[in-house]
Amino acid sequence: MQKTNPKVKDFITFQDKVNAIEFIAGSYFTADDNQQTIYTPYFSEIAQVEAIAAYFLEGVSFDDGENVYETILIDSELTGILNRFYPGDNSFNQENKYYQELFAFIMNCVTDKVSYRKQEELAKIQNQQLGLMSTKLLDVLEKEAAQLNAQLETQKLGQQTTEKYDRWLTYQNKVAEQFSAEEYAELTRSMAAVNFDPENVSSMLADKYFGSELQKQSEKLEEAERTIEKQNAELEKLQDDYARQQVV
């Protein structure tokens, strides 16, 4: 430390006040080893002493790396000067009213700034928590959606299987309708016989079906479906041609 007639500045500028406020308010928040912000209001006393020395005094300077707070506390001359910014007895207060009101203003601004910073830090924490909750919720919803899709696919497959079985059963019933009671009884006896021949029975069923009105109706239906498909294709081509003409 170097001293040359230390004293309070004759004129403390607006920038000096701003610098002191920022310096003291900054001491309330420090970063740990993981660069996470932590609340450290216990550093404010040290910051107040250092801010007064840095921005409100002249005729004193400190070496790089020197502990300014401890140096001032063991120096009675500097301590006496700094005390002028803090309340004492009535006569002392009257004598140093300007400095005490100045520093009261500084600390009021510090309180407001620290309160604002607290709200900012709290909002950051809440936003982080909301972000984590949103991510977790999105994961849950994605899993639920995947599970629901799987269930729908299973239901769809089951429905398709049921529909195919119903069509097959309807077909079997229609084929059976082509047989008379005597023919159906003969078919049943043939299938129950020891020398049952599946090829003969299949041939019998095929002959009965392809010679029936049911087969003829099926052929007409297939022909109608082909005609409809052809007409739809022609209609789509006409629509495409018309759309291209409108663009030109």
Domain-embedded: residue 88: yes
Is the same domain home to 200 and 220?
no
Q: Which amino acid is at 192?
A: A
Domain-embedded: residue 135: no
Is the same domain home to 200 and 223?
no
Query: According to the model, what pLDDT value does residue 165 have?
Result: 62
Is the same domain home to 16 and 52?
yes
Domain-embedded: residue 199: yes
Nearest to 125 by CA among 43, 28, 36: 36
Q: pLDDT class for 208, splitting at 50, 70, 90?
A: low
Q: Using CB atoms within 10 A of its CB, is residue 48 exposed (0-12), middle (13-18) or buried (19+)? A: buried
From CA 157, how far away is CA 144, in angstroms rounded?
A: 20
Average pLDDT, the chain: 78
Is the same domain home to 204 and 231?
no
Q: What is the mean pLDDT of residues 214-231?
A: 67
From CA 30, how far away is CA 46, in angstroms rounded?
A: 14
Is the same domain home to 19 and 102?
yes
pLDDT digits (tens, 9 = 90+) for 138-171: 677 677 777 777 777 777 766 776 776 666 666 6
Is the same domain home to 199 and 224?
no
Is the same domain home to 121 and 51?
yes
Is the same domain home to 186 and 247?
no
For residue 105, give its domain range.
Answer: 2-127
Is the same domain home to 188 and 243?
no
Domain-embedded: residue 114: yes
Domain-embedded: residue 185: yes
Domain-embedded: residue 221: yes
Is the same domain home to 103 and 19?
yes
Report whether 27 contacts 44 (CB < 8 A). Answer: yes
Is the same domain home to 66 and 116?
yes
Domain-embedded: residue 15: yes
pTM of the model: 0.53
Q: pLDDT class for 200, splitting at 50, 70, 90?
A: low
The number of domains in the chain is 3
Domain-embedded: residue 167: no
pLDDT digits (tens, 9 = 90+) for 174-191: 666 666 666 666 666 665
* Percent residues over pLDDT 90 in the chain: 35
Is the same domain home to 111 and 200?
no
